[in-house]
Amino acid sequence: MKEHKNSAAFFANKECSFYPCHECDEDINCLFCYCPLYHLDCPGDYEIIEKDGRNIKNCTGCTYPHLADNYGDIIRLLKQSF
């Protein structure tokens, strides 16, 4: 398992009762515990499902915002969305 040190771009909250919330081959970046890309067409592995008569984004299998190497791309995508 690849480990990272906590920094401004990475934080692993290993004390959280939900950690790890996704299966990854490296430490999970909890900095984006709630995905900031949810309302965007993100590059993560998501699917659109129907729930209660409407289509929603299901990110259950997505680890994109939790991988340390994706921090720069996430910031870039957020800047582009404004």
Q: What is the pLDDT of residues 10-58, one digit of tens each?
A: 888 889 888 887 777 777 888 878 888 988 989 999 999 998 999 999 8
Question: Helix (H, G, I), strand (E, B), or coil: what is residue 28?
Answer: coil
Cβ atoms of residues 80 and 41 within 8 Å:
no
Cβ atoms of residues 44 and 61 within 8 Å:
no
CA distance linking residue 56 with residue 8, whole number of Å:
31
* H or E element that contains 81: helix 71-81
Alpha helix ranges (H) inside 12-82: 71-81
What's the whole-model pTM score?
A: 0.67
